[in-house]
Amino acid sequence: MIAYNALSFTIHTLTQKQMNQNFSDQWQKLKRLANDESIKDLQGLFSNDTNRVKMFSHEYKDIYVDFSKNWINQDVLNHLLALAKHANLDKKIQALFSGAKINVSENKPATHTAQRKIPLSESMQHDRDKMFEVAKNYASGKWKSAFNNKIKTVVNIGIGGSYLGPKVAIQALTDLQINSHVQVLYFASVDDVRLLSILKSIDIKSTLFCLSSKSLGTIETLKNTESLLTVLNGTKGYNPKGTNHSFVAATANCEKAISLGIPESHIMPFDTATGGRFSVWSAIGFPLLMAIGEVRFLEFLSGAETMDQHFEKTGFDKNIPILMAMVSIWYRNFMHLSAYAVIPYDANLKHLPAWLQQLMMESNGKMHDVNGEQLTISTSPWLFGDHGQLSQHAFFQAFHQGKDVLPIDFIGVIGEHTDAKNYLLINMMSQAAALMNGSDDTHDEFNCPGNRPSTTLLLNKLTASSLGQLLALYEHMIFVQSVIWNINCFDQPGVELGKKIAREIVEHIQDDTLKDVRLDPSTQQLLERALKHD
Ligand code: F6P
């Protein structure tokens, strides 16, 4: 038996070594291909191939993606997909969906896809049933606020993934909150002035506060909860008892929620292996469920699940998340472009860039691989974006005539054919065309160079399902990037250091021992200036 184990270990090691060698050989081939400047001549690429748009466009369910305005040809794409193969991507995708512990630093699986799988696991079904039961009780008026009023407003208290996912979805699916069952507001940062403006704009006696926090260890969220509890306790008629409560909690830390005074009946648990920035599909989606109702929330989940099917079962050359990821790898690691813009031309999607910033940069903003080795290659680009129409009047000048080039994802929604919607789409397409073709007026002294790449994603319509497909597409894109970079996209150790320093300073201020905190001279001086009371 020992001999067999030794042999199989040897074979595995040799195979792994061979795979690593194949991967690095493929990487070198791509580096050589990147030296050919003609790949950037977009007009040339089109004139050489009348079939280019068809060859580089793909469609799945409600999403059509046109990659043809990118610095790629079939040869480059084939080599990028070969790199993905040598990265063992197919096995890594299987591991993701099988519940293997791919979040290696936390020794956990990544269960965001399991949150929308049909059928759900028993524990996830239990969690979902609880979330739906709490929503139904409040929406029907069976459960009331602690002032014995029916709920009209939900205020979400949470930050990062405990707020951005619901925010992007509620904005997208409630037509700017017009057809929302309840009004949803967000209390994410600790700015007291924000709290006061929220409190002025709501009827606190008919408001349900949703404490959304996976860990219940985030100081901002705990401070906000404390501030709100102070306000509630100081409000006449506040009487939490029985099922009348003004607070519910969506968390993976139920004990902490109970210690904060939230009854078990009002706590909506979710799996600790569902990452914060991947958690809109879990109880963190409660504000969305309250805003759009059960039927559309299930459509949202089902849309994501259908994108999971596509990602898990489609060959690399037609697999949209893989193609999105590999094109981004081409720009990041072989064209050495460090920025990435995502520009939705639709007000309903205006919060998508902020959600995607956390998803990509908190997942892949890493410098060590899964084994803790320092990486020699680049990882996450700097991602930014805003509503396209607004961005045209803000930073598009740099896109057209800046010295630095960056890849852009344009996202449009076909939807209803109103003048405004058509105008938006015409603008989006014109900007992408101008970036690619430049200005052909040779007498124009400030002409635009053109040959600036972009990908255009078109949604047939914006529905709960198509939004679920879009968000899942980007989740899988980020996962594929992490496989190529051999990093763990499911932890975020880097953000803990800043929190630790802040906690230490706060604690020392509270017991008036700030002078004992070892700080650099700059921070020391800034703190003294900020905390000085005249
Ligand atoms: O930014 C760090 C982080 O842990 C994110 O990953 C998370 O979405 C956010 O803070 C909020 O964390 P929690 O949901 O545990 O309050």
pTM of the model: 0.95
Range of the domain at 124: 120-299
Gap between the Cα atoms of 292 and 287, Å rounded: 9
Is any atom of ligand 1 closer than 6 Å to the C-beta of 454? no
User: Per residue in 421-470, pLDDT tens?
Assistant: 999 999 999 999 999 999 866 666 678 999 999 999 999 999 999 999 99
- Of 272, 299, 326, the residue that ends a domain is 299
Residue 7 forms part of a structural domain: no
**Which atom of ligand 1 is least distant from the CA of 284?**
14
Is any atom of ligand 1 closer than 6 Å to the C-beta of 221? yes
Are residues 268 and 124 part of one domain? Answer: yes
pLDDT at residue 534 greater than cutoff 80: no
* Tally of structural domains, the chain: 3
Are residues 175 and 41 part of one domain? Answer: no
Gap between the Cα atoms of 275 and 491, Å rounded: 8
User: Per residue in 71-121, pLDDT tens?
Assistant: 999 999 999 999 999 999 999 999 999 999 999 999 999 999 999 999 999
State the residue for tokens 């996202």. Answer: 411
Q: What is the pLDDT of residue 17?
A: 81
User: Per residue in 382-411, pLDDT tens?
Assistant: 999 999 999 999 999 999 999 999 999 999
Residue 55 forms part of a structural domain: yes
Residue 33 forms part of a structural domain: yes
Are residues 501 and 473 part of one domain? Answer: no
Is any atom of ligand 1 closer than 6 Å to the C-beta of 363? no
Question: 237-240: long-range contacts (C-beta < 8 A, 24 or more apart)?
Answer: 237/147, 237/148, 237/205, 238/146, 238/147, 239/146, 239/147, 239/148, 240/146
Residue 103 forms part of a structural domain: no
Residue 90 forms part of a structural domain: no
User: Per residue in 294-307, pLDDT tens?
Assistant: 999 999 999 999 99
Q: What is the pLDDT of residue 180?
A: 81
Region 247-272: what's the mean pLDDT? 97
Residue 308 forms part of a structural domain: no
Q: What is the pLDDT of residue 442?
A: 61
Q: Which residues are catalytic?
A: 362, 393, 499
* Nearest CA, atom 13, ligand 1: 213
Strands (E), 222-364: 247-251, 267-269, 339-344
- Of 241, 268, 299, the residue that ends a domain is 299
Are residues 165 and 223 part of one domain? Answer: yes
Are residues 470 and 345 part of one domain? Answer: yes
Residue 282 forms part of a structural domain: yes
Strands (E), 339-447: 339-344, 382-384, 408-413
Are residues 320 and 288 part of one domain? Answer: no
Are residues 514 and 407 part of one domain? Answer: no
Q: What is the pLDDT of residue 441?
A: 67
Which domain CATH number covers 169?
A: 3.40.50.10490
Are residues 276 and 185 part of one domain? Answer: yes
The pLDDT confidence band at residue 232, using thresholds 50, 70 and 90, is: very high
Q: What Cα–Cα distance (Å) separates residue 85 from each residue in 303, 363, 515? A: 27, 22, 55
Are residues 290 and 219 part of one domain? Answer: yes
Are residues 331 and 248 part of one domain? Answer: no
pLDDT at residue 13 greater than cutoff 70: yes
Residue 459 CA to ligand 1 center (angstroms) comes to: 30
Is any atom of ligand 1 closer than 6 Å to the C-beta of 161? yes
- Of 299, 330, 361, the residue that ends a domain is 299
User: Per residue in 21-76, pLDDT tens?
Assistant: 999 999 999 999 999 999 999 999 999 999 999 999 999 999 999 999 999 999 99
* Nearest CA, atom 16, ligand 1: 213
Are residues 423 and 361 part of one domain? Answer: yes
Are residues 372 and 340 part of one domain? Answer: yes
Which of 81, 106, 99 lies closest to 484 in space, CA to CA?
A: 81
Residue 406 forms part of a structural domain: yes
pLDDT at residue 10 greater than cutoff 80: no
**Which atom of ligand 1 is least distant from the CA of 277?**
8
pLDDT at residue 143 greater than cutoff 90: yes
